[in-house]
């Protein structure tokens, strides 16, 4: 019997593993854009994190203050950290990131925080807050005594505003070794160092206008001022933006600025009071629109730098050499003038300095010593966008060189090119998505549109319309027949069922970002970007909604305007302006068709325009009132809801627009029925007090409060979320519900609504033919509510519900978990409020799928829709039904972009990936051959039996 028991154990273990997520579904059914934001131009570089290896990583701090290390081979993120979570003063803006070649740490700063990270793994080394205000500059100390250990350098930090402080921080612990305080009122600008001294650069207001540049020299060991000097720059420098460049080490030991006419470049070598004037040679006389300076960042590089000049039609550059002994500057050579836009990047290898030039047609590399071209490759910017900035890594081989360079496009996307080929693209323009909407492929939308037309015609007209439609479809028959053999062949040799486009699994998601862009993502092609359109020139685009209709997508903006785009190409069709701001957008069913009408809602909750319709609308005003409207009148609300005194409304939600109900009751184990309270006009309103939260269930037509639940001891600074669907709603918050310590924590409360607590009883409406929410013989009844609460391990920042075509599939509660950067789909049977408390379930309850209630709800690893991914910054999750009843499309956005397919009741209407079509075909063929071979033998045997009977 031992072998039999062993077999049972092995079989049970296999059954357990079969419930887990299949490995072949990861990166196949889902997709993930792990985003950083647009890389900054001053804090993005190649860096070797180890002195024992020549391999380098790409390091950056983005404009959204995300620090990251990127693998330059494939563009994947090695590690990332969000500085915005560490600082209390900045969520966007300038961040700093510094590293020294071969060192094992990188140091970053933003706002009022300075943090050191492990260069290879992103682990926290130390963090400190500056003495004064926010960080203005961050540099690594170049001095010989600046190295704390063999692979870590001390840090120079400049912080403050009117009163500024320069600190020297220990590179290993972050502790301050000394601090120099400047209370002169000068504007702090930057710090730098040489092999012997530290320089603090500030801007001093001149008597009349402009600013003088003041350089204060500090002792590296004590931080005391040794001397200072002021440069007469008030006629050229009007503010920090007028200074073109400040070098941070002996490779670039200078300050550069230009005169207002852009005819001369002024350069001061740090430590010297002399200002070198370099005449700008502009042969054509065209106005110079931009001057930029590029110098090496290596500590032991040659002191060479490049100045890049741009006009509206062409650009050129000049290379200069610095003689540190004589503090003089000489022009080495000039790079030729070229039409169009050029981008330069400085890089170094040991002491050698290289300059990479990127134009619309080619990439070239030159050394800083002479103008000889070390390498030239063709280049094509396939995106058609302007390149904002770039960085390069050059490896020289005698008189030739190879290069790989990463460049940032105007949209924010990040690409890396190796010599002449693009290796990877990171779609950073997707960062900061504020709204999203589903769009069907054109073929599907056309069919839906045609069927809608046929449904609104008489029988004869609909029949003629259908015949014409089928006749038009015949033009696609030759192409369909041509592709048929290939589809059949690939369907048999493929081990996975992947082509489900015709079942509605391939849709477009249109995403609007805060940078004024609308981007289309193909959910059936691993989240590939189909098109990327710039709609507005802003960094704070507040989009309220995206509505898609037949081949057209309309984006509704806070200022009341709207933009219409072609769903297929992203082309802007029209742009409508408005003078009235809106805080939300509502979709009202159109009585004349199967479509919807869009109506804006002002901040005071008033609809933007009256509509001649019998429908109703519920709005939320900015002063916390919930208002009910009949759409024929937008002047006076029919009802209004005000929370109790001392409370304010923070959120209101209703049932999803697509929320079909497959069954009006729940069948119990004894075959009786609990009838669901199904009211399509429900609204769930959340209000908070000093330390309490109340959830009000309202009838949206009459404003009657159907049910309320209040929870005390709530921390209202923590996330409070809610969702409603079918006959149930869920809410989550942090609370101390009792005096027992085990009840403190994040709570998840689920409530179900029934018509009566008694099975097979419809309550007051049992014999009624209809009811009225306002008046009549049968007034609106109150629901019978069952609730259960669970303690969960972490907060929930957003909730959504899966949607299917007919509502037959069991729903999942989709929860966003910001602490673990993940998304879970909790099955509804786990959250069933009828789970028995304090006892084991009966046989009938077990048949229903109920099991014993436990107050602690641990998130099962099989519930994680994001698997083991780190999906950060998710603000909202939306879902969409497909033609397959088992499958829901899920899309999450805000920081990262994530999409997947959810099957709450398993994929009961899809063949699994393990199904072998070849084996099925072989079985059918074998059976056919067997029948063909055995048929004569059977006939012969039957004939012989007949003869024997005779």
| pLDDT interval class at 8 (50, 70, 90) | very low
Determine the Cα–Cα distance for residues 73 and 467; give it in Å rounded to an integer.
55
**pLDDT tens digit string along 524-551?**
888 999 999 999 988 889 999 999 887 8
- Quick one: tokens of 237? 């420098």
* Predicted local confidence at residue 332, as pLDDT: 94
Find tokens 């069907």 and name the residue. Answer: 440
C-alpha separations of 767 from 677, 754, 778 in Å = 16, 17, 10
Overall average pLDDT of the 46-75 stretch: 91
Mean pLDDT (whole number) for 611-624: 79
Query: How far apart, in whole angstroms, are the C-alpha atoms of residue 575 and residue 565?
Result: 9
Q: For 698-721, what is the mean pLDDT?
A: 92
351 contacts 249 by C-beta, under 8 angstroms: no
- Given phi > 0 = left and psi -120 to 50 = alpha, else beta, which region is 793? alpha
Q: Which of the listed ranges 138-142, 220-224, 796-800 does the model predict with the highest average pLDDT?
A: 796-800
Give 770's DSSP letter: -
For the chain, give me the number of helices (H) and strands (E)?
6, 62
898 neighbors 32 (Cβ within 8 angstroms): yes
Q: What is the CATH number of domain 33-178?
A: 2.40.128.630
Mean pLDDT, residues 150-163 taken together: 85
pLDDT averaged over every residue in the chain: 86
CB proximity list for 472: less than 8 A, separation 6 or greater: none
Place of tokens 């959830």: 695
- What are residue 707's DSSP bridge partners? 697
Phi first, then psi: give them for residue 790, nearest 5 degrees: -130, 145
> What pLDDT sits at residue 12?
37
**Residue 368 structure tokens:** 């800083």
pLDDT value for 91: 65
Contact 699, 771 (CB under 8 A): no
| pLDDT at residue 13 greater than cutoff 60 | no
Euclidean distance between CA atoms 485 and 756, whole angstroms: 58
The stretch 52-73 carries a mean pLDDT of: 91
Q: What span, in angstroms and rounded, lies between the C-alpha atoms of 652 and 730?
A: 13
Please name which of 754, 810, 820, 823 lies closest in space to residue 782, comparing C-alpha atoms: 754
Q: Is 890 exposed, middle or buried (0-12, 13-18, 19+ CB in 10 A)?
A: buried
Rg of the chain (C-alpha set): 34
Cα(first)–Cα(last) distance of the chain, in Å?
Answer: 56
Q: Which residues pair with 685 in a beta bridge?
A: 652, 696
Alpha-carbon distance of 948 to 798, in angstroms, equals 82
Q: Residue 454 in 3-state DSSP? A: helix
**Of 391, 395, 504, 497, nearest to 883 (Cα)?**
504
Give, in order, the Cα–Cα distances in Å from 551 to each of 321, 672, 797, 811: 59, 48, 34, 30
Least confident interval from 288-302, 382-396, 766-780: 766-780
* pLDDT above 90: residue 596: no
Percentage with pLDDT > 90 across the chain: 53
Give the integer Cα–Cα distance in Å for 812 and 829. 9
What confidence tens digit (pLDDT) does each residue in 756-792 have? 999 998 877 666 666 666 665 556 788 999 999 999 9
What is d(CA 135, CA 65) in angstroms, rounded to the nearest whole number?
13
| pLDDT value at residue 131 | 79
Per-residue pLDDT tens digits for 309-330: 999 889 999 999 998 888 889 9
Of 5-14, 109-118, 673-682, the least confident: 5-14
Query: Looking at the chain, how many residues does it have?
Result: 950
Beta strands in 236-327 (DSSP E): 243-246, 254-258, 264-269, 275-279, 290-294, 304-310, 314-323
CA 910 to chain centre: 30
Of 902 and 283, the structure prediction assigns the larger pLDDT to: 902
Which pLDDT score, from 0 to 100, does residue 485 have? Answer: 81
Residue 401 has φ and ψ, to the nearest 5°, of -155, 160
**Element holding 826 (H helix, E strand):** strand 822-827
Helix (H) or strand (E) holding 180: strand 176-182
Three-state helix/strand/coil letters over 381-450: CCCCCCEEEEEEEEEEECCEEEEEEEEEECCCCEEEEECCEEEEEECHHHCCEEEEEEECCHHHHHHHHH
DSSP 931: H
- Give residue 392's pLDDT: 93
- pLDDT higher than 70, residue 633: no
Residue 495's pLDDT is what? 47
In order, the DSSP letters of 544-582 are: EEEEEETTEEEEEETTS-EEEEETTT--EEEEE--SS--
Determine the pLDDT at residue 497: 46
Give the pLDDT confidence of 726-740 residue by residue, as tens digits: 999 999 999 986 655
Please report the pLDDT score of residue 77 as a whole number.
95
Instruction: Identify each DSSP E strand in 590-700 by its residue range.
Output: 596-601, 616-620, 626-630, 639-641, 648-654, 665-667, 673-675, 682-688, 692-699
Q: Report the C-alpha gap between 174 and 172 in whole angstroms.
A: 6
Average pLDDT over residues 52-67: 90
Q: Can you tell me the distance from the alpha carbon of 619 to that of 137, in angstroms, rounded to the nearest whole number?
A: 47
- Segment (H or E) for 488: helix 477-493
Label residue 301 by pLDDT band (50, 70, 90).
Answer: confident
Asked whether the CA dihedral 113, 119, 123, 125 is positive or negative, the reply is negative
Contact, 879 vs 803, CB < 8 A?
A: yes
Which of 519, 527, 530 lies closest to 433 in space, CA to CA? 519
What share of the chain has pLDDT > 70, as a percent? 89
- Report the C-alpha gap between 840 and 192 in whole angstroms: 72
Q: What's the pTM value of the predicted model, to 2 decimals? A: 0.88
**CB neighbours (10 Å) of residue 575?**
13
- Convert the pLDDT of each residue in 840-881 to its tens digit: 999 999 998 899 999 999 999 999 999 889 999 999 999 999
Q: What pLDDT, on the 0 to 100 scale, is given for residue 23?
A: 58
Calculate ∠ Cα 878-880-881, nearest 5°: 155
232 or 597: which leads in pLDDT = 232
Query: Looking at residue 6, what is its pLDDT?
Result: 42
- Mention the CATH class of domain 341-431: mainly beta
C-alpha span between 62 and 41 (Å, rounded) = 9
The secondary structure element, H or E, covering residue 732 is: strand 728-736
Residue 444 banded pLDDT, cuts 50, 70, 90: low
């Amino acid at each position: 019997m031992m072998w039999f028991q062993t077999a049972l154990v092995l079989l049970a273990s296999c059954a357990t593993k079969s419930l887990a997520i299949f490995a072949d579904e990861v990166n196949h059914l889902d997709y993930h854009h792990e985003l950083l934001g647009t890389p900054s131009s001053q804090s993005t570089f190649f860096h070797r994190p180890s002195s024992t290896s020549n391999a380098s990583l790409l390091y950056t701090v983005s404009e959204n203050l995300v620090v990251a290390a990127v693998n330059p081979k494939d563009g994947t993120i090695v590690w990332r950290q969000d500085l915005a979570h560490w600082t209390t003063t900045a969520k966007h803006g300038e961040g700093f990131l510094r590293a020294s070649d071969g060192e094992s740490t990188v140091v970053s700063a933003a706002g009022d925080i300075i943090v050191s990270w492990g260069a290879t793994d992103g682990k926290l080394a130390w963090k400190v807050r500056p003495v004064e205000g926010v960080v203005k500059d961050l540099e690594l100390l170049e001095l010989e005594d600046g190295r704390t250990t063999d692979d870590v350098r001390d840090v120079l930090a400049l912080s403050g505003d009117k009163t500024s402080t320069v600190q020297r921080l220990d590179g290993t612990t972050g502790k301050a070794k000394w601090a120099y305080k400047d209370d002169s009122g000068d504007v702090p600008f930057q710090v730098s160092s040489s092999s012997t001294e530290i320089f603090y650069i500030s801007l001093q207001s001149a008597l009349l206008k402009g600013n003088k540049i003041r350089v204060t020299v500090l002792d590296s060991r004590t931080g005391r001022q040794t001397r200072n000097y002021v440069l007469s720059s008030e006629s050229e420098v009007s503010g920090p933006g007028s200074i073109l460049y400040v070098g941070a080490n002996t490779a670039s030991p200078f300050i550069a600025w230009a005169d207002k006419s852009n005819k001369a470049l002024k350069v001061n070598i740090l430590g010297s009071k002399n200002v070198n004037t370099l005449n700008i040679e502009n042969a054509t006389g065209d106005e110079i629109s931009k001057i930029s300076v590029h110098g090496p960042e290596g500590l032991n590089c040659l002191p060479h730098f490049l100045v890049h000049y741009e006009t509206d039609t062409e650009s050129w550059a000049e290379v200069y050499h610095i003689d540190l002994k004589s503090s003089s500057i000489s022009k080495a050579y000039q790079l030729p003038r070229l039409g169009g836009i050029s981008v330069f990047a400085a890089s170094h290898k040991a002491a050698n300095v290289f300059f990479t030039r990127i134009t619309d047609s080619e990439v070239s590399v030159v050394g800083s010593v002479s103008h000889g071209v070390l390498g030239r490759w063709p280049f094509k910017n396939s995106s058609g966008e302007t390149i904002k900035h770039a960085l390069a890594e050059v490896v020289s081989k005698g008189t030739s060189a190879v290069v790989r360079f990463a460049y940032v496009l105007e949209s924010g996307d990040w690409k890396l090119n190796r010599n002449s080929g693009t290796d990877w693209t990171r779609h950073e323009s997707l960062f900061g998505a504020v709204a999203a909407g589903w769009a069907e492929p054109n073929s599907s939308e056309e069919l839906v549109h045609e069927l809608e037309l046929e449904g609104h015609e008489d029988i004869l007209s609909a029949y003629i319309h259908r015949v014409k439609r089928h006749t038009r479809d015949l033009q696609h028959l030759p192409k369909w027949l041509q592709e048929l053999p290939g589809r059949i062949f690939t369907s048999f040799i493929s081990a996975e069922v992947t082509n489900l486009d015709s079942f509605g699994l391939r849709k477009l998601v249109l995403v609007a970002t805060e940078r004024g862009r609308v981007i289309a993502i193909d959910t059936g092609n691993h989240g590939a970007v189909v098109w990327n359109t710039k709609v507005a020139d802003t960094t704070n685009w507040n989009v309220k909604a995206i509505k898609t209709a037949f081949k057209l997508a309309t984006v509704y903006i806070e200022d009341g305007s709207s933009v219409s785009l072609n769903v297929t190409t992203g082309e802007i069709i029209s742009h409508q302006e408005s003078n009235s701001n809106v805080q939300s957008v509502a979709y009202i069913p159109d009585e004349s068709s199967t479509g919807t009408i869009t109506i804006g809602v002002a901040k005071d909750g008033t609809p933007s325009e009256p509509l001649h319709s019998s429908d109703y609308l519920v709005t939320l005003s900015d002063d916390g009132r919930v208002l009910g409207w009949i759409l024929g009148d937008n002047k006076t609300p029919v009802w209004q809801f005000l929370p109790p005194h001392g409370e304010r409304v923070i959120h209101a939600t209703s049932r999803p627009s697509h929320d079909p109900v497959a069954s009006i009751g729940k069948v119990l184990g004894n075959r009786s029925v609990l009838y669901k309270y199904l009211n399509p006009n429900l609204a769930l309103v959340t209000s908070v007090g000093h330390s309490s939260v109340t959830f009000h269930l309202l009838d949206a037509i009459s404003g009657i409060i159907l049910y309320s639940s209040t929870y005390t001891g709530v921390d209202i600074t923590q996330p409070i979320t809610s969702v409603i669907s079918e006959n149930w709603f869920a809410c989550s918050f942090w609370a101390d519900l009792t005096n027992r310590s085990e009840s403190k924590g994040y709570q998840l409360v689920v409530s179900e609504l029934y018509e009566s607590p008694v099975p097979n009883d419809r309550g007051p409406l049992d014999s009624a033919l209809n009811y009225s929410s306002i008046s009549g013989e049968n007034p609106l009844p109150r629901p019978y509510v069952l609730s259960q609460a669970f303690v969960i391990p972490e907060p929930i920042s957003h909730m959504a519900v899966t949607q299917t075509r007919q509502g037959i599939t069991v729903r999942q509660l989709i929860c966003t978990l910001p602490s673990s950067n993940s998304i879970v789909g909790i099955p509804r049977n786990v959250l069933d409020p009828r789970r028995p408390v304090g006892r084991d379930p009966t046989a009938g309850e077990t048949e229903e799928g109920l099991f014993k209630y436990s107050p602690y709800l641990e998130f099962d690893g099989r519930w994680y829709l994001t698997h083991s991914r780190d999906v950060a910054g998710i603000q909202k999750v939306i879902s969409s039904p497909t033609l397959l009843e088992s499958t829901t499309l899920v899309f999450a956005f805000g920081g990262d972009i994530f999409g997947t397919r959810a099957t709450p009741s398993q994929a009961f209407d899809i063949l699994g990936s393990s199904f072998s079509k070849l084996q099925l075909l072989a079985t059918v063929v074998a059976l056919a051959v067997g029948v063909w071979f055995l048929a004569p033998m059977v006939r012969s045997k039957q004939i012989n039996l007949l003869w024997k009977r005779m």
